[in-house]
Amino acid sequence: MKKPYIVYSLSKDRTTQKFNKSKINDIVDGLQSFLSKYTKEDARNPDSIEITVCNDEKNSQYDILDRTIQHFGSKREVSPIGYQYPSGIPHTTLRHVWTLNADKFEDALQFIISNKSLPKSDHGPIELFTTYSFKLHNPITKVELPNQENTSIFCIWLSKSSKSISPTIFFPFEIPDENFWSYLDKISLYLPFKIEEKYLRITHVNKKGEINSFKKIVRPILNNILKLCNSLLRLCSMIWFTPAVITVTIFVTAFVAAGSPVTSALVTIAVAVAFAGRHFYQGWVA
């Protein structure tokens, strides 16, 4: 039986998500910050690079296609962006794709930035596509972390109208325990996009590598709130606080963590009952 693993990947009906930053240079810098700390990869040395130009009536007057041919050469793949249904007639807008070597990243990036003054278009008009594959490493020793049979990957699209990423991250954890959530919180500080925890899954596979189960995992919020309240109450026991101040502190803490006044009230009551019981048998200091 192969080991289970935890993966972060968007759903089929949502293939991409936004970056934390809006400017292309800031996005690349943020990507580099993560890759250099948690992997051995370099943001300026991707696995693959493509420049895509969609030539339609909106941008043909700006000669972006001619400028791209002049800059990157005429060798490219050309195809219609789609076909009309049910006739099968090709769309009049054509997609021109240049596949570049990794050492052309900086050149391609600056070309995209220098042409950002082009009008917005439903298809481009010019877009940079890059991919990065990586394994997670220890940020201090730079040694690859164990339990990573699969390779994580970032697919990134950068253009004037859209800057998005399709991430798939395989975490080196078999269960979503405290160590996993702690690691996730640390790594999230450096990721160039926001981790949406509803897309975290734990996967179990059989000997053949076939997926047996693919289940959503949820952060144990209540446990975290109780632990935080426990720490606050210990602090309160070291310096003098009235019961009212302690109750308000617990409520506010729970509200900030859970975002719901109802949940906060329930947590406050639960903590109060628990500590009242401990006070009765063991004294106030837990």
Per-residue pLDDT, 216: 92
Q: What is the mean pLDDT of residues 183-208?
A: 91
Per-residue pLDDT, 46: 97
User: In this predicted structure, which of 24-28, 136-140, 182-186, 233-237 has the lowest mean pLDDT?
Assistant: 233-237
Extract the tokens encoding 73.
Answer: 């050469």
Question: How far is the C-alpha of 184 from the C-alpha of 157, rounded, in Å?
Answer: 24
Q: Is the pLDDT of residue 90 over 50?
A: yes
Reported as a single tens digit per residue, the pLDDT across 25-34 is 999 999 999 9
Q: Which residue has the tokens 């997926």?
A: 211
Report CA dihedral (19, 22, 25, 31) to the nearest 10 degrees: -10
Q: Are 112 and 128 in contact (CB under 8 A)?
A: yes
Residue 233: which pLDDT band, with cuts at 50, 70 and 90? low
What is the dihedral sign for C-alpha 136, 140, 141, 142?
A: positive
Q: Are 205 and 178 in contact (CB under 8 A)?
A: no
Concatenating the DSSP letter of every residue in 41-58 gives --TTS-SEEEEEEEE-TT
Per-residue pLDDT, 82: 87
Residue 285: which pLDDT band, with cuts at 50, 70 and 90? very low
Q: Is the pLDDT of residue 280 over 50?
A: no
Q: Are 136 and 171 in contact (CB under 8 A)?
A: yes
How many of the other CB atoms lie within 10 Å of CB of 16?
15
Q: What is the mean pLDDT of residues 114-133?
A: 81
How many of the other CB atoms lie within 10 Å of CB of 43?
22
Per-residue pLDDT, 10: 95
Residue 208 corresponds to which amino acid? Answer: K
Task: With CA atoms as reference, report the closest residue to 134 among 111, 151, 149, 147.
Answer: 151
Residue 192: which pLDDT band, with cuts at 50, 70 and 90? very high
* 3 vs 173, higher pLDDT: 173
This prediction has a pTM of 0.75
- Mean pLDDT for the chain overall: 82
What is the dihedral sign for C-alpha 73, 77, 81, 86?
A: positive
Reported as a single tens digit per residue, the pLDDT across 197-209 is 999 999 887 776 6
With a CB cutoff of 8 Å and minimum separation 6, the contacts of 18 are: 163, 164, 165, 193
Look at the chain and count its residues.
286
Extract the tokens encoding 272.
Answer: 């109060």
Q: Is the pLDDT of residue 121 over 80?
A: no
> Using only C-alpha atoms, what is the Rg of the chain?
26
Question: How far is the C-alpha of 220 from the C-alpha of 45, rounded, in Å?
Answer: 38
User: In this predicted structure, which of 77-81, 143-147, 233-237 has the lowest mean pLDDT?
Assistant: 233-237
* Phi, psi angles (nearest 5°) of residue 158: -130, 120
Q: How far is CA 149 from the centre of its chain?
A: 20
Reported as a single tens digit per residue, the pLDDT across 30-79 is 999 999 999 999 999 999 999 999 876 665 546 888 999 999 999 999 99
Question: How far is the C-alpha of 28 from the C-alpha of 33, rounded, in Å?
Answer: 9
- Reduce the DSSP state of residue 163 to 3 states and report it: strand
Per-residue pLDDT, 149: 87
Residue 2: which pLDDT band, with cuts at 50, 70 and 90? confident
Q: Are 106 and 128 in contact (CB under 8 A)?
A: no
